[in-house]
Amino acid sequence: MTALDLIDRKIVAQLMRDATQSVAQIADQVGLSSTPCWKRIRRLESDGVIERRVALASPQALGLGVCAVVILRAPDHSAEWRERLGAVVAAIPEIMEVWRVAGENDYLLRIAVADMAAFDQLCQRLAGEVPIREITSHLAIERVKFTTAFPVDTIRR
């Protein structure tokens, strides 16, 4: 896998912004003709730079009105516990995002559920399936910003 040049990053930026664009449109945007642009896109996909193409939906329209960020502390820093948590969160679709963070044995989870009753049930399910030393919930009032587009423009080559 070779390094990405400026044109590659422009292509990825375009596709992260709007993947409905045709190859010809993207070629225009980045200053290429269709064929070489198409070849670059294929290479970016086979190299794993572009991982997948997905539709983004509206949580409100889907009836998922409650979003929460849960911070939890592990009882220990064992590999067993980490694997256990990984298996549990993988099996729970309401848990959309999980980050293990440095410092303490802390994890941050982002959760999408229909209502507070569902959120309560989810917390109880989580606590029942994996031992947790401490858990703190932050209910989201407002989604101020959310994007899946990485800041490729700011990367220095």
Partner DNA sequence: GATGAAACTTACATAAT
Partner DNA sequence: ATTATGTAAGTTTCATC
Site of interaction with DNA (CB under 7 A): 7, 22-24, 31-40, 42
Instruction: State the Cα–Cα distance between residues 50 and 11, nearest whole angstrom.
Output: 10
Residue closer to DNA, measured from CB, 9 or 40: 40
What residues numbered 34-73 form the site for a copy of itself, per CB under 8 A?
Answer: 47-59, 61-64, 67, 69
Binding at 67: pick from DNA, a copy of itself, none (beta carbon under 5-8 Å per type): a copy of itself
Helix (H) or strand (E) holding 70: strand 66-73
Shortest Å distance, C-beta 30 to a copy of itself:
14
Residue 142: HSE in the Cβ half-sphere, 13 Å Cα cutoff: 2
Q: What is the CA radius of gyration of the chain?
A: 20
Shortest Å distance, C-beta 11 to DNA:
10
Contacting range for a copy of itself; rule: CB under 8 A; set: 31-39, 73-81, 112-120, 123-131: 112-120
Instruction: State the Cα–Cα distance between residues 135 and 151, nearest whole angstrom.
Output: 32
Q: Which of 23, 27, 72, 95 binds a copy of itself (CB under 8 A)?
A: 95
Query: Measuring CA to CA, which residue among 45, 63, 143, 134 is closest to residue 97?
Result: 143
Binding at 95: pick from a copy of itself, DNA, none (beta carbon under 5-8 Å per type): a copy of itself
Q: Is 122 exposed, middle or buried (0-12, 13-18, 19+ CB in 10 A)?
A: buried
How far is the CA of 143 from the CAs of 67, 122, 138, in angstroms?
A: 9, 21, 13
Residue closer to a copy of itself, measured from CB, 127 or 139: 139
Contacting range for a copy of itself; rule: CB under 8 A; set: 31-39, 72-80, 125-133, 149-157: 149-157
Contacting range for a copy of itself; rule: CB under 8 A; set: 31-39, 73-81, 104-112, 123-131: 104-112
